[in-house]
Amino acid sequence: MLDNKQIKWLEAEAVNSATTRQPLYAARKKVFPKRASGRFRQFKWLVMAITLGIYYLTPWLRWDRGAFAPDQAVLIDLANRRFYFFFIEIWPQEFYYVAGLLVMAGVGLFLLTSTIGRAWCGYTCPQTVWVDLFLVVERAVEGDRNARMKLDAAPWTARKLVLRASKHAIWLVIAVATGGAWIFYFADAPRLLGEVATGTTAPVAYVTIGVLTGTTYLFGGLMREQVCTYMCPWPRIQAAMLDENSLTVTYNDWRGEPRSRHAKKALAAGQPVGDCVDCKACVAVCPMGVDIRDGQQLECITCALCIDACDNIMDKLGRERGLISYATLSDYNTNMAIATAGGTRPIDPTLVRTAGGAFSDKLTHFHVRKISRPRTFVYMALWSLVGIGLLFSLMTRNRLQVNVLHDRNPQFVTLSDGSIRNGYTVKLLNMTPEPRTIVVTMQGLEGAQMNLVGSDLPAGRSFAIPVEPDRLKTLKIFVRQPANQLRGQTQTFTFVANDQAGLESDRYIATFNAPETTR
């Protein structure tokens, strides 16, 4: 075991402390997080690269949908009211797919939080990702924690002005790129980029870029942890999602207390000493300015950087990792009961170790089965049920639809030969990116025939109608029934629309009205 003197103690105080809460309207205390290194930091780098890559690169992906549809893989086409996602095309009347995805996202967030805590906040939340990116720039320009603190406290000089201007300039470039990337989801990206560069695109595009540039710069660069603390509702909600078997970042004070910077002197004096050497490395790396040793707090986003910092210290001291770790409240309470002899005495680190210094076999450690509980299965079942339902609906949906509106005034017309005529507006919707020939046929209404208004086609019970790709075709149709075939004041019949290729069909039951005297 190395001597504690080889550990560097940091002057770091928690900005957001569980023991001393700041007034709601207190001036912000700046947080200067130190760069961390370790497996969780590496995982965060990976997540940041993936999420930023998806956001910035997705609009540039191509997907061949044929000659009659856009070839952008992901496109929200507001002008034509379409949403394209690779091979999926969503029409406005199919918005329930988007609603279903939002339900899945909500249930998935509940599932994630109930099992592994605020992992969304710590790794994949856009606020977390962009703050991480802005911190990378800040460290590259101004240096790590101590250098940034000194620079912030120093008077304004040419050097400080250049460093600050460089940092904010890069932040603004990132913010502009963020706003610019967003608008590319709503139009063809290469064409829109050219229009933006030449100043020929619509003003709304520049307004959108400006708004998103401002919010990205403000939230990611200037406000940072304040967004999570004061603006985001999820820290207040997530507490209801947690229980004693949820994984959270935990300071295991059953092995860390009593903390001491002079362990050898304390041991020589016969005093109990825990593993925590009070180096405050966990506080220094926290982007939220939290001291995890104060316990769970609203501000903690469970990014686990404090775990990396503490593990590095434990490695230097030759002690076991995990003084700060992911743990459940159930395991923590069990181990705390061992360390305090059932709560009858202060924490005694000798109670959790054997005479040889190893951890006692009585200690409880996390196992994946502990998060496999009824609550988890309910969330998983609900999430899967919605997902399977959406997938089934997506795979079996009909891309041909027919809708019929009966004329309201007049509801019927009596012709000179005594026959009765009703008027209908028939709408054929071709929801594929290819032209189709749709055959509209009458079923029922004995002796009746259709006339297609504006067409030279003779009257009949069936018409072949060409419909353009991704378009709605509106037809005006008159249906006439001879007087001797009338069967009452109201009759029903069916308009059937069939793809000429025989792939899809749809039908609509319509009403044929006649005078009351014909009953």
Q: What does the DSSP assignment read for 486-505?
A: --SSEEEEEEEEEETTSS-E
Read off the amino acid at residue 48.
M
The structure tokens listed for 390 are 């959406």
Q: Which residues, listed in sequence order, are joined to residue 424 by a DSSP beta bridge? A: 406, 477
d(CA 419, CA 133): 76
Local confidence pLDDT in tens for the 519 residues of the chain: 445 555 665 666 666 665 666 666 667 788 999 999 999 999 999 999 999 999 999 999 999 888 888 899 999 998 888 899 998 889 888 889 999 999 999 999 999 988 988 889 999 999 999 999 999 999 999 999 999 999 999 999 999 999 999 999 999 999 999 999 999 999 999 999 999 999 999 999 999 999 999 999 999 999 999 999 889 888 888 888 888 888 999 999 999 888 887 777 777 676 778 889 988 999 999 999 899 998 888 889 999 999 999 999 999 988 999 999 999 999 999 999 999 988 888 998 889 888 888 888 888 888 888 888 888 899 999 999 999 999 999 988 888 999 999 999 898 999 988 899 999 999 999 998 889 999 999 998 988 999 999 888 899 999 999 999 989 999 999 999 998 888 888 899 999 999 988 788 999 999 999 988 644
Contact 114, 243 (CB under 8 A): yes
- Alpha helices by DSSP H, listed for 143-202, are 145-153, 158-183, 189-198
d(CA 255, CA 442): 81
Cα–Cα distance list, 346 to 268, 273, 395 (Å): 20, 12, 62
**What is this structure's pTM?**
0.84
Positions of E strands within 5-72: none
Q: Which residues, listed in sequence order, are joined to residue 72 by a DSSP beta bridge? A: 62
Cα–Cα distance list, 141 to 37, 135, 147, 156, 168 (Å): 19, 10, 10, 16, 10
392 sits in the region (left: phi over 0; alpha: psi -120 to 50; else beta) called alpha
- Alpha helices by DSSP H, listed for 16-125, are 39-57, 96-116, 119
